[in-house]
Structure 1
Amino acid sequence: MSYPPAPWHLKGFSLQTLHLLDIERVRPLIPSELNIVSVLPGKTVGGVYIASYGAGSTMPYNELIVVSGLLHWQGKVGAWISHIYVDHPDSVVGGREIWGLPKQLAQFTWNVGKMPSVQVNHSGQTLCTLSSSWQLPGWPQPVSGPVFSLQHTQLLQFNGQGTLQLQLAGVDLTIDSTSPLAELNLGRPWLGFYSNSLDLIVNPPIPMHK
């Protein structure tokens, strides 16, 4: 086994966006047995999260997560990750074999400063670019994020929890029309956030029984 066992401890910084997504558009990306939560008529919540994990982490790597919907099933609520890219091969294998996440390798180019930005490329193609033009002062926020995933035919749920130094930010998202992410039609972010300090634990998954 080339990857460490769960839980994984992740420390670093991130840029994030929240979006309202068309339920009809994201439905094919989500297992049919999971119910999509409608927050407005025909709309669910999704978003883009790009983070860089460094010193103090289980392993150092960069990560792009695309959440394509908020779901509920058997009284439980969680997000669905339809696209996920990292730049460490052990993270790819661990993500697939522990949590059932469809991780792929990608390249991350960060411009870290007062106005951070990042571009993510996969197989010579630009997946997306996130850039922040402003941030408001923030403070540490406890977070807990339940996620559904699928490993072969087994539905799983796991939880990420910890603390984010969360700052409301102006975040622009650019997605090329040929990017695999274009199918979500994310559009302009509803909200944007920057966290210059995150400290998260990603717990082992729990099988969900039908």
Structure 2
Amino acid sequence: MPYPQAPWVLQGYAIQTLHLVNIDQVRPLIPLELEIISVWPGKTLASVYLSHYGSGSVLEYNELIVVPALVNYQRKIGGWVSHIYVDNADSVAGGREIWGLPKELAKFTWEHGKYVTVHQENRKLCSLRYDRQNLAWKQWLSASAFSAKGADLLIFPAEFESVLGLIGSKLEIPAESPFSKIGLGQPWLTVRCEQMSLRVDAPKLVGQMGI
């Protein structure tokens, strides 16, 4: 299946929620080689990221990424992606074969400026109701994420430039959702990204798992 090689440059908009979750609750989702970073006693930082990549992107698609924890490996810090969904089969193939990400297909419905919901066949994965942003500023940021391809532990950087705004939101995750047991609850912070340009680079090998 054809897909572009890394880096992928993607343009569009996104909404990201941040949550404090129990470390003991998310530990089963994280490889034992990765140390979960505590940002509060017994808590780590989790995230839900919903995005639309449109015109100007190497591939056009929607995406849902669930990061249950902030982790550390040999002084390298990043998020661990436990669940990731897109609506483009080429993105699934590229995500799995380049980055080792567990991408699956899902259906996205945006009511722009108000609401987004994600389904996988007849199962609802999540929905997010959000407000329009008022105060906004342009920002450049970079971050890293870990993934695994076979026994190889990988890390890859992403950097983006966007107009950011803090907004209110309400996240709903049904009990039948594969990531309902993370215990995300309601976000303590939600960021809306407009006019976003995102670059995701190829992964680098940092270690081996199960050794």
Q: Give the alignment's TM-score, normalised by structure 1.
A: 0.96
Deviation at 1:15, TM superposition (A): 1.3
Counterpart of 2:143 in structure 1 is: 145
Q: Tell me, which stretches of 5 or more residues in structure 1 are unaligned?
A: none
Superposed CA offset, 1:37-77 (max 9, x none):
00011100011000000011011000000011001111110
Q: CA RMSD in A?
A: 1.0
Matches within 5 A, 1:176-191: 176-191=174-189
- The equivalent residue for 1:105 is 105
What is the deviation of 1:153? Answer: 0.6
Give % identity.
48
Cα distance, 1:134 vs. partner? 4.0
Measure how far apart 1:133 and its partner are: 2.5
Cross-structure match for 2:115: 117
C-alpha distance after superposition, 1:136-161 (max 9, x if no partner): 32111111110011111100000110
> What is the distance in 1 between the residues matched to 2:103 and 2:116?
19
Which residue in 1 is equivalent to 2:204? 206
Between the aligned partners of 1:128 and 1:158, the Cα distance in structure 2 is 26
- Secondary structure in structure 2 of the residue aligned to 1:31: coil
Structure 2: where are the runs of 5+ without partners?
none
Distance 1:108 1:35 in 2: 33
Matches within 5 A, 1:58-77: 58-77=58-77
* Structure-2-length-normalised TM-score: 0.96
Q: Say yes or no: does 1:42 pair with 2:33.
A: no
1:61-103 deviation line (CA, Å, top 9, x unaligned): 0000001100111111010010000000000010000001000
1:165 and 2:183 matched: no
Number of equivalent positions: 208
Q: Output the CA distance in 2 between the equivalents of 1:36 and 1:8.
A: 28
Partner of 1:31: 31
Deviating above 6 A after TM superposition, structure 1's stretches of 4 or more consecutive aligned residues are none
Distance of 1:127 and 1:62 partners within structure 2 = 14
